[in-house]
């Protein structure tokens, strides 16, 4: 039987429509991001996790989320039978490496809510190995735990608007996508400014939440 193992590299979030900062609202749909469920057992309570993993989980939340840690709520977890999964997944040589085992032992899911920075619901995913080491985490380590390091969303919008105006596009017809990018290990806002209200053509610009600079940009006529 062929089992598809999906590794989530980006967390894409729906952002509400409106004008200016009102579009820059993070509100994930309710979803379950667990993988390899056929080889896993679900955990609905923190107390059902092994004690050492509970301690590690609390330490990670404290280290990564700083003053956001009280806005984190446990959503669920699963424990994977890694040996059984490796035997059945397709092309295991790609899924496993000596440096980084991609199949976690523990998948932990949390809901982050802090409306003061525009987050209504964002799902934090933490993948751990047998020893509690982080394999994957869709939130930046180092700066993302303090709201002081996340720029006012209006500043980001105004910066993006100035950039798009220089290129001759309208700044009042656009959509926004919020995402964590694993390659950069940063949180980004990607603006799509359209040439007309049919959302045809336009200019796309990606800006980190932590600083006013353009990471990526492209235009389409």
Confidence of residue 165 (pLDDT cuts 50, 70, 90): confident
Report pLDDT for 31. 67
Report pLDDT for 172. 78
Residue 3 domain flag: no
Domain count, the chain: 2
| Residue pointed to by tokens 């390659």 | 183
The answer on pLDDT for 220 being more than 90 is no
pLDDT digits (tens, 9 = 90+) for 174-213: 899 999 999 999 999 999 998 766 666 688 999 999 999 9
Average pLDDT over residues 93-119: 79
The boundaries of the domain holding residue 215 are 151-220
Burial, 33: exposed, middle or buried (Cβ in 10 Å; 0-12, 13-18, 19+)? middle
Residue 22 domain flag: no
Asked if residue 68 and residue 168 are part of one domain, the reply reads: no
Residue 93 domain flag: yes
Q: What is the DSSP string of the chain?
A: --B------EEEE-B--SSGGGG--EEPPP------GGGEEEE-SGGGS-HHHHHHHHHHHHHHHGGGGGGEEEEEEEEE-HHHHHHHBSSHHHH--SS---S-SEEEEEEEEEGGGTEEEEEEEEEE-TT--EEEESS-SSSTT-GGGS--HHHHHHHHHHHHHHTT--SSSEEEEEEEETTTTEEEEEEEEESSTT--SEEEEEEESSSS--SEEEEE-
Residue 15 domain flag: no
Asked if residue 204 and residue 115 are part of one domain, the reply reads: no
| Residue pointed to by tokens 């656009």 | 174
Residue 51 domain flag: yes
Residue 18 domain flag: no
The answer on pLDDT for 107 being more than 70 is yes
Asked if residue 93 and residue 36 are part of one domain, the reply reads: yes
Asked if residue 112 and residue 79 are part of one domain, the reply reads: yes
Average pLDDT over residues 52-61: 97
Q: Which of 82, 103, 138 is the last residue of a domain?
A: 138
Asked if residue 158 and residue 95 are part of one domain, the reply reads: no
Comparing 79 with 143, the larger pLDDT belongs to 79
Asked if residue 76 and residue 163 are part of one domain, the reply reads: no
> What pTM was estimated for this model as a whole?
0.81
Cα-based distances in Å from 4 to 37, 61, 94, 193: 11, 30, 12, 36
* Six token digits for residue 132: 């509690």
* Six token digits for residue 30: 């309710």
């Amino acid at each position: 039987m062929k089992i598809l193992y999906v590794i989530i590299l980006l967390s894409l979030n729906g952002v509400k429509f409106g004008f200016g900062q009102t579009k820059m609202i993070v509100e994930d749909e309710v979803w379950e991001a667990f993988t390899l469920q056929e080889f896993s057992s679900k955990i609905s309570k923190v107390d059902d996790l092994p004690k050492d993993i509970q301690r590690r989980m609390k330490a990670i939340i404290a280290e990564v989320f700083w003053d956001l840690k009280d806005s984190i709520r446990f959503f669920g977890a699963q424990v994977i039978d890694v040996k059984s999964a490796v035997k059945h997944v397709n092309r295991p040589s790609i899924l496993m490496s000596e440096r980084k085992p991609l199949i976690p032992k523990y998948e932990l899911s949390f809901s982050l809510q802090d409306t003061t920075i525009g987050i209504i619901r964002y799902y934090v995913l933490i993948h751990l190995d047998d020893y509690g080491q982080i394999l994957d985490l869709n939130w930046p380590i180092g700066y993302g735990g303090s709201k002081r390091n996340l720029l006012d969303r209006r500043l980001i919008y105004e910066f993006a608007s100035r950039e798009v105006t220089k290129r001759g596009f309208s700044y009042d017809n656009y959509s926004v996508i919020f995402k964590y990018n694993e390659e950069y290990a940063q949180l980004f806002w990607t603006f799509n400014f359209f040439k007309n209200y049919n959302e045809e053509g336009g200019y796309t610009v990606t800006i980190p939440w932590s600083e006013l600079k353009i990471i990526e940009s492209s235009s389409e006529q």
